[in-house]
Structure 1
Amino acid sequence: MASKRIFDSISNLAGEIGKTTSNTSRKVVDNMTNLDKQKMNEMRENITDSTQQLVEKASLKVKEGANKTTKAVSNVMDVNGDGQVDIEDVIIMALKVPGVCIKRDDFLRSEFMKDYPPEVINDAIAFNPAHAGITPKEIEKYANEVIKYERNCVSGISAALSTPGGFAMAATIPADIAQYYGYMLRATQKLLYLYGFPEIDVSEKSKKFDTETLNILTLCLGVMFGVANANNALKAVAKALGSGVQKQLMKKALTKGTIYPIVKSTAKWFGVKMTKEVFTGFFKHAIPVVGGVIGGGLTYISFKPCCDKLKASLEDTLLSNPKHEATNEENAFDIEEGIIIENCESL
C-alpha cells in the first residue's frame, strides 16, 4: 500500500511537472510569437515608410526632370517667339529643313515629263494640270505616288535612326517633329500643285515666312487631321483662286478676313494636341529619331490616312474640277466681300 501511495504521488508529481512544463513552453512560444509579430510589424512599417520616401523622392525627381524637359522643349520650339508652342512654330521649323520646300515648276515638270509632251507640261505649269487636259484619274495616280513616296521616306528614316532617351529628348523632339511634319508639308505642296493651286511662297524672307503661306499650310494640315471646318475653308480658298479673286483679297481673307477664324481655330486645336503629345511622351514612341524602329511603324501607319484626307478634299474643287458645284458650306465664305455671310454661323 505504501509503495502504491508513493507511486501515485510520483505520478501526480510527474503530471504537475508536465503541466507546468507545457504551460511554460506555451508561454515561451506565445512570447516568441508575439515578439516575432512585433518585429514583423516593425519591419513592415519600416519598409512601408522607406518605400513611401523613395516613391516621394522619385516622384519629385521625375517632376523636376519633366519640368526641365518641358521648359527646354518649349524654349526650342517657340520659334516665332509668341510664348506658346503651336502649329505655326512647327511649320516654320519644318520649312527650314533642307528639301521640304517644293518648287512648283520643277515638280510638275519632273512628274509629267515621262507621260506628256512639252506643250501639255507648259500648259499645266502656266495654269494647272486640269486646264492642260490631264484627267482626274491620271492626277489621282500621280497623287497616290506622291503619298507613297513621302510615306516611305519618313517611315524609312524613322526606322533607320538611333534612339536617344532621357533628357536628350529635349534636344531631339524638335528635330523629330520638324522631320515628321516636314514630310507632311512636302506631300501637301505636291498635292496642292497637282490639284491646281498656284505656287506657294515657302521662301524665308528676313527670317520670316509669309503669313498667307503659313495659314494655307495650317488649313491643309487641319484637313489632314480632320479639324472641323478646315476642309470647307480650304475648298473656299480653291473656289476663290479658281474664280480669279485678286491676290490682295485672298491675302486679307487668310490673314484677317473670312478664312482667318478657321485658321485660328485650327491652330488652337493643334496647340492643344501638340502640347499633349510632346509633353506626355507621344513623340518618344511615334516620331523618327526618338522612336526608332517602332516609330517607323507608327509613322508609316499614320502618314497615309492624313494625306488621303487632303487628297480627297482637293480632288473636287473649282481648281481641279471645272464642273465643281460649291456646297453651302463653301459659299458661306464670301472672300470677295471680306465678310462671312449669315449661314456661316451654322457651320
Structure 2
Amino acid sequence: MANEETVGLKIIEEAFKLPIVKVDRRAFLIQIFQGKVSDIEGLIEKGPQAFLSKEMLDREAQKCIQSITLKSSAVSLATGLPGGIAMAATIPADLLQFFGYSLRLAQEISYIYGFKDLMGENGELSEEAKNTLILYLGIMLGVTSAGSAVRAMSGKLSTQALKKIPQKALTQTLYYPVIKRVLGIFGTKLTKNTFAKGISKAVPVVGGVVSGGINYLSMKPMATKLQTELGKNVAYTEESLQQDLDILEGEFEEVSSDIVSSDTVLSQLERLSHLLETNMITEEEFQQLKQELLKK
C-alpha cells in the first residue's frame, strides 16, 4: 500500500472509533420523518423514498447538512483554542473530528435516500460497512467511481449488478480499485493540507476562528456532493446502472494496469539486487539504476 493510502486509512480507522460516527438508523428516521410518514414500520423497512417525493428528501438532507456542519465547526473552534481536545496519537483532533462528523453525516444522508443500515446487530460497523463509508467519503472528495460503486451495490438494482459481474470478481471489481483510489486521494490531500491547517493555530483565538471557518467551508460542499450522488438512487434505472458499471470497469482496468506496472518495477529491482550481490554491478551503479526505475 502506498504511503498516501496508509495515511488515509490511519485517519479513517481512528475516526471510526469516535462515538459520533455511530448512527442508529431506526431512531434517526423516526426523528426526521415522524409526522411526515404515518407507517413507521414501513418507513424503517422500505426507506423514506417509498413514501416521500425527492424534493422533500432533498430538503431534509439539506437540514442535516446544515446541522452537522455547524456542530462540527463549533467543535473545530474549540479544538483550535488552547487546551482544546487532545489528539488521538499523532492525528490533530480537529482533523479527526472533522472526518468523524463527515462519516456521521454520510450515514444520515444515505438513510434519507433509502440506503440500508450500516450498523450490525452488535451496534458496530462491519468491514463491509466501513468500506461503504470509505466510498461515501470518496464521493465527498469528488471520486466519481465511488458514487458508481455505492449505487451499483446498494441501490435498488443491486441484483442486476450481481448478475452482470462474476461473484468471485465482485470485490475486486467494485470495491478494491475504488477504495484504493479514495484512500490515495484522501492521503494526498491530508499530507498537503494538514501542515497549513496547523499553522492557523499559531495565533490562539484567531486560529480557533480560522479553524472553525475552514471546517464549515470544507464540509458543506463535500456533503452536498454526497447528497447529489446518493439522491440519484431515488430514480435509479437499468440505464443508470449500466453507466455506473462502465465507470467501474474503467476504474478496474486502470488500477490493474498500475498493479502490473508496480510488479514490473519490483521484479526489475529484485534482478538489480541479484546483480549487485553477485558483483556484476557496483553499489553506485545499483543506486543509479534504482533511482531511474523508481522515476518511471
Please identify the structure whose Cα radius of gyration is greater: 1
Among 245, 251, 267, the residue aligned to 2:183: 267
Task: Number of aligned residue pairs: give it.
Answer: 246
For the pair 1:197 / 2:115, whether they are aligned, the reply is yes
Asked if the contact 2:135–2:150 (Cα under 8 Å) also holds between the matched residues in 1, the reply is: yes
> Any residues of structure 2 matched to 1:1-347 within 5 Å, and which?
85-117=6-38, 119=39, 121-131=40-50, 133-164=51-82, 173-201=91-119, 210-239=126-155, 242-243=158-159, 255-278=171-194, 280-285=195-200, 291-317=207-233, 320-321=234-235, 325-326=239-240, 328-332=242-246, 345=253
Instruction: Kindly provide the amino acid, as one letter, of the partner of residue 11 in structure 2.
Output: V
- Cα pair distance change 1:236/1:242, threshold 3 Å: closer
Deviation at 1:114, TM superposition (A): 3.1
Give, as a single letter, the amino acid of the residue that structure 2 aligns with 1:303.
M
The amino acid that maps onto 1:126 is: E
Distance 1:88 1:170, change over 3 A: closer
Structure 1 pair 296–203 and aligned structure 2 pair: CA distance change class (3 A): farther
SS across alignment from 2:117? coil
Contact 1:87-1:270 at 8 Å conserved across structures: yes
* Separation of aligned partners in 1, 2:226 and 2:176: 19
Check whether the contact 1:329–1:344 (CA below 8 A) recurs between aligned residues: no
Over aligned residue pairs, what C-alpha RMSD do you find? 3.7
Taking only the aligned residue pairs, the percentage that are identical comes to 32
Cα 1:328/1:256, change in 2 over 3 Å: closer
1:219-238 Cα offsets, whole Å, 9 max, x none, are 11111011242222222223
Structure with higher RCO (Cα < 8 A, 6+ apart): 2
The runs of 5 or more residues in structure 2 that have no matched partner are 256-296
Contact 1:155–1:296, Cα closer than 8 Å, also in 2: yes
**142-151 or 234-243: bigger deviation:** 234-243
How much does 1:325 deviate? 3.8
* Contact 2:80/2:94 (<8 A) preserved: no
Deviation by residue 1:81-124 (Cα, 9 ceiling, x = unmatched)? x997433322222222123210111110111113222x1x3212
CA–CA distance in structure 2, aligned partners of residues 345 and 172 of structure 1: 36
SS of 1:196's partner is coil
Question: How many angstroms apart in 1 are the aligned matches of 2:47 and 2:93?
Answer: 34
- Shift in CA distance, 212/325, structure 1 to aligned 2, threshold 3 Å: same
Residues of 2 paired with 1:343 and 1:169: CA distance?
35
Structure 1 residues 224-283: Cα deviation after superposition (integer angstroms, max 9, x where no partner):
01124222222222346654878xx999777434332111111112122222233x3334
Q: Distance in 1 between matches of 2:143 and 2:175?
A: 14
